[in-house]
Amino acid sequence: MEIPTQADVIVIGSGFGGAVAAARLAQAGFSVIVLERGRRWALGEFPRRPVLEDGWLWDVDRGLYDIRWLGTMAAVQGAGWGGGSLVYANVFSRPFEGAMDQRWPAHLRREELDRYYDLAAHMMGLSPAGDDPATGSSPARTTAIENMVRNMAIPDSTVRPNLAVTFGDPETWRENMHGVPRRGCAYVGECIIGCNHGAKNTLDATYLAVAEAHGAFSLTDAEATRIEPDSDEDDPTYTVTVTTPSDPRAPVRRFTASQVVLAAGAVATNELLLRSRDRHATLPGLSPQLGRGFSGNGDFVTLTQLRGEGANMSTGPTITTSTVLSVPEGRSTVWYQVQDGAIPPPLQALYDTLAPARNARQRWQRLRKTHPNRTFALLAMGQDSARGTLRLDAKGQAVLTWANRWQRHLYRSQRRVGPLVAKLLGARQYNPITWSLLRRTTTVHPLGGVRPGPEAASGVVDSAGEVYGYPGLWVMDGSVLPAATGVNPSATILASTERSVEAMIRRSGHSNWRAPEWEDVRPMEAPEDAAFQAAAEQQRATEGNGVTFCERMGTYSTSYRSADRGDRPRQLSMTLAAEVSSLTAFFANPVHPVTIQGTIDVEGVARRASIAGILSLFPEGSAEAMRYDLKFDDDRGVPWHLTGVKRVESRRPDALLRGLTTLQTRISPVNKGSSEAPDPSAPSLGTNRPDYSEHDEEAEQLVLRISTMDLARLGASLRGLGFTQLRRIRAVGRFADFFARSALRTPAPSRIRPQTSENPRSLA
């Protein structure tokens, strides 16, 4: 089909922004030309052979990946009809509102964009990863991650994200809602090198199919190099100059339109606009903010290799889990998510072919009994500074000046994730060479540089994406996002473009226009919201870090003379594990609560029963040094209540030690329905005594003591809780300082009433 040289709208780029713009503009009746510098990839054509000339790199043979070295950062982007969707990991994730700061304007926040997220989700066909149809179970990598976070007691922080993948029978072809044949995922783990199977819901099978079905013209192997408006400042017509990447000697072509949508990706869009302003001088009035606010979305990659033989970690969709972390670093908290990432075997084979010392590496693998399919990636992304600035070098190529100090806490925290996971999984962890040797980060999510603002002095575009000073020139891709999303940004680019192109169409005279699919759109669950909320609650619960310690104590004496034992005390012993999960909350609460759980042995009542409750440690305004309030069930399943106090009679060292290691307790069965009446089924505490309720004044009273050996074990058991060793050490120091100061400040009671059976309330 012959491509016209003039249209209503020219869309530059066919990625997440360009595809949406092209589809909606064509649906609205505009004539549209879509320019894409890459090729159109058909099923079976994506590279698989371990040679660079098979179509891997843009710089080699206009291949699938374009790697841009921006100086302080490398940016990896896809090239082809469908843009980044050809090589992304399919994740559709919404940023957490609680992690967004003042850089995000109202029109890009969840309240405004959620309905557009739902529209984009409907168009892309989403669902979370399920079971591998070949095995009937989850991928081994998914199971390993989910088991690990369950053992870390943060299972709610991990979810299976929504994926733009077709699941079901991998051998049966069915048309999707856009009339494009798709079949179920085969779980071969090749999402990021182009899906040759036909299960991935890429843009060429969704939005771009809609655009072409409504008459949009598509031109591949066409790179826009210059944008020039005519002399009419109020209603200009733009001329876009296009070259042919596969044949640099081919003559340039020119296309004209009254409106142009720039959607070439954050790096290329910034580069084209910077050239138009600073080299070609065709758009000299572009805002001085152009190029500022560039972000790598906090991307960081770590590789994890499981030792020995075992399950294949490369199967399944590339990403199957997202774990959200809220980690204290410095004086603030950093948010980021960590995702498992399959490494496709063809990509490993390519690396194995190109990397030096191949024979030595293979011998090392045999010696360590490792296999390439036991390696997977940990992909982290978070809130970086977004303070990068793109400018042009002498060759007219974009380079990055990066204010990296702001996000040192983010990178420091992300670097700790790999070793932590490696330890928990018994694996080996290592970083890519770009970081370990060059200290250069790599992003697969370049964002920013064309920030929105209320006027040209503070932004390049307005809230709809129209460029200040150049009516009819629009930007609709990741470059308009003002900061890192902290999650996979493709969904936000889709949603923000849906909103922008709707505004563009309405400004063009279609005042009530809306996407035809709205009638079928339903709210889509965002599982990442629950993970972010769980991480926020976990952060609040562990603020200031925490400590744990173990305490063991046993019967020392008794205040009651029973007929069956005479003066011999009832034998009782407890082994308790104590935890303060948040020192911040602990210090703020005047009761200073400590969570207790453990086991208890009570002669004639309970054998190794579970016991749990609260220890109030040096409660403010009280003469008690410690107050225990614990519950356990006896061997018959009857609930019991144990209360106890430790008091300091004097600050003399011997009296202080005795007071802090002696617990005066009382135990009694609790009525199952009410704590006000005795339980008739509860066993008797003594052969010559009636049953006792929780509030019975004659409940049995025992004195427990911590032995010298157990006291030493208690001190040795004190451990800090925190993400780093330094934080754990600091937590122990803070807690020890509190304990020592409080023990010395505890007021001794003016008069201790004698402990007798006639005066049991002296222990309450």
- For 700, the enclosing helix (H) or strand (E) is strand 700-705
**Greater model confidence, 21 or 2:** 21
Give the contacts of 35 (CB within 8 A, at least 6 positions apart): 10, 11, 12, 13, 219, 222, 223, 224, 240, 242, 255
**Measured CA distances, 686 to 95, 216, 555, 639, 680 (Å):** 63, 91, 17, 18, 15
Instruction: Assess whether pLDDT exceeds 80 at residue 186.
Output: yes
CA distance 546 to 328: 12
Place of tokens 């034992």: 565
Q: What is the pLDDT of residue 404?
A: 60
pLDDT beyond 60 at 291: yes
Burial class (CB in 10 A: 0-12, 13-18, 19+), 737: exposed
CA distance 574 to 702: 12
Residue 248 CB neighbours (<10 A): 7
Average pLDDT over residues 58-67: 96
Specify the 3-state DSSP secondary structure of 301. strand
The set of residues, in sequence order, having a beta carbon less than 8 Å from that of 224 and lying 6+ positions away, is: 12, 35, 37, 240, 241, 242, 264, 272
Q: Tell me the pLDDT tens digit for each residue of 86-127.
A: 999 999 999 998 878 899 999 999 999 999 999 999 999 999
Closest CA to 343 of 307, 316, 382, 380: 316
Confidence of residue 739 (pLDDT cuts 50, 70, 90): very high
The C-alpha atoms of residue 595 and residue 178 are separated, in whole angstroms, by 56
**Could you identify the residue written with the tokens 């058991």?**
717
Please tell me the distance from the alpha carbon of residue 435 to that of residue 640, in angstroms, as a whole number.
58
Q: Phi/psi of residue 261, each to 5°?
A: -110, 115
| CATH class (in words) of the domain with range 15-508 | alpha beta
Main-chain phi, psi angles of 390, to 5 degrees: -90, 135
Within 8 A by CB and 6+ apart from 615, the residues are: 578, 593, 594, 595, 596, 626, 627, 628, 629
Write the burial class of residue 143 (CB in 10 Å: 0-12 exposed, 13-18 middle, 19+ buried): middle
Confidence of residue 686 (pLDDT cuts 50, 70, 90): very low
**Side-chain half-sphere exposure of 472, counting CA atoms within 13 A:** 21
Phi, psi at residue 192, to the nearest 5°?
A: -85, 5
Separation between Cα atoms, residue 287 and residue 402, nearest integer Å? 20
| DSSP string of 588-611, one letter each residue | HSTT-EEEEEEEEEETTTEEEEEE
CB-based contacts of 520, cutoff 8 Å, min separation 6: 122
533-557 mean pLDDT: 88
Distance of CA 240 to the CA centre of its chain: 40
Q: Around Cβ 637, how many Cβ atoms within 10 Å?
A: 9
Give CA–CA dist 660/621, Å, rounded: 18
Q: Which residue has the tokens 């974009």?
A: 398
Q: Which of 92-96, 284-288, 355-359, 597-601 has the lowest mean pLDDT?
A: 355-359
Beta bridge mates, 301: 379
pLDDT band at 694 (very low <50, low <70, confident <90, very high): very low
Q: CA triplet 729, 531, 334: central angle to 5 degrees?
A: 45
Mean pLDDT of 6-14: 98
Show Cβ contacts of residue 683 under 8 Å, excluding neighbours closer than 6 positions: 604, 605, 634, 636, 638, 669, 691
Supply the angle between the helices 358-368 and 345-354 in degrees, to the nearest 10: 130
pLDDT at 275 over 60: yes
What stretch(es) of the chain map to CATH 3.50.50.60? 15-508
Report the C-alpha gap between 623 and 570 in whole angstroms.
28
Span 675-682, average pLDDT: 41
Task: Report which of residues 181 and 409 the model is more confident about.
Answer: 181
Least Cα distance to 336 among 296, 377, 297, 383 occurs for 383
* Residue 404 CB-density burial (10 A; 0-12 exposed, 13-18 middle, 19+ buried): middle
Lowest mean pLDDT among 117-121, 160-164, 328-332: 328-332
| pLDDT per residue as tens digits for the range 403-441 | 666 567 777 788 778 888 888 888 888 877 766 666 678
Bridge-based pairing state of the strands 6-12 and 32-35:
parallel
Q: Amino acid letter at 551? A: E
- Name the token pair of 368: 């360590």
**Residue indicated by tokens 């089909």:** 1
User: Mean pLDDT over residues 703-724, rounded?
Assistant: 93
pLDDT at 681 over 80: no
Helices in 63-161 by DSSP H: which ranges? 110-124, 140-151
What is the pTM for the complete model shown?
Answer: 0.85
Q: How far apart are the C-alpha atoms of 175 and 183, rounded to whole Å?
A: 8
- For the chain, how long is the longest CA-to-CA vector? 111
In this structure, the strands spanning 73-78 and 441-443 are parallel
3-state secondary structure 52-91: HHHCCEHHHHCCCEEEEECECEEEEEECCCCHHHHCCCCE
Burial 272-298 (b: 16+ CB within 10 A, else e): bbbbbbbebebbeebbebbbbbbbbbb
φ/ψ (deg, to 5) at 153: 65, 30
Q: Which two tokens stand for residue 645?
A: 């106090």
Give the residue-averaged pLDDT of 290-299: 94
Q: Decide: residue 521, CB within 10 A, 0-12 exposed, 13-18 middle, 19+ buried.
A: middle
pLDDT at 758 over 60: no
CA distances from 23 to 216, 238, 577 (A): 8, 21, 61
Residues contacting residue 497 through CB under 8 Å, at least 6 positions apart: 16, 17, 20, 21, 263, 465, 476, 477
Query: Residue 325 has which token pair?
Result: 């972390």
Q: Mean per-residue pLDDT for 688-713?
A: 70
Q: Is the pLDDT of residue 254 over 70?
A: yes
DSSP structural state of residue 759: -
The whole-number pLDDT of residue 372 equals 83
How many helices and strands, by DSSP H and E, does the chain display? 16, 34
Please report how the helices 653-661 and 725-745 are oriented relative to each other, as an axis angle in degrees rounded to 10. Answer: 110
Judge whether residue 678 has pLDDT over 50: no
Tell me the backbone φ, ψ of residue 391, rounded to 5 degrees. -145, 175
Check whether 755 has a pLDDT greater than 80. Answer: no
Is 684's pLDDT higher than 80?
A: no
How far is it, in rounded angstroms, from Cα 85 to Cα 676?
Answer: 66
Check residue 674 and give its pLDDT: 42
Residue 670 binned pLDDT confidence (cut-offs 50, 70, 90): confident
Judged against a pLDDT cut of 90, whether residue 691 lies above it is answered with no
What is the overall mean pLDDT for the chain?
A: 89
Query: How many beta carbons lie within 10 A of that of residue 355, not counting itself?
Result: 10
Say what angle helices 110-124 and 490-507 make with each other, to 10 degrees. Answer: 100
Burial environment of residue 415 by CB neighbours within 10 A (0 to 12, 13 to 18, 19 or more): middle
How many residues belong to the chain? 764
pLDDT at 439: 67
pLDDT digits (tens, 9 = 90+) for 609-663: 999 999 999 999 888 999 999 999 999 999 999 999 999 988 889 999 999 999 9
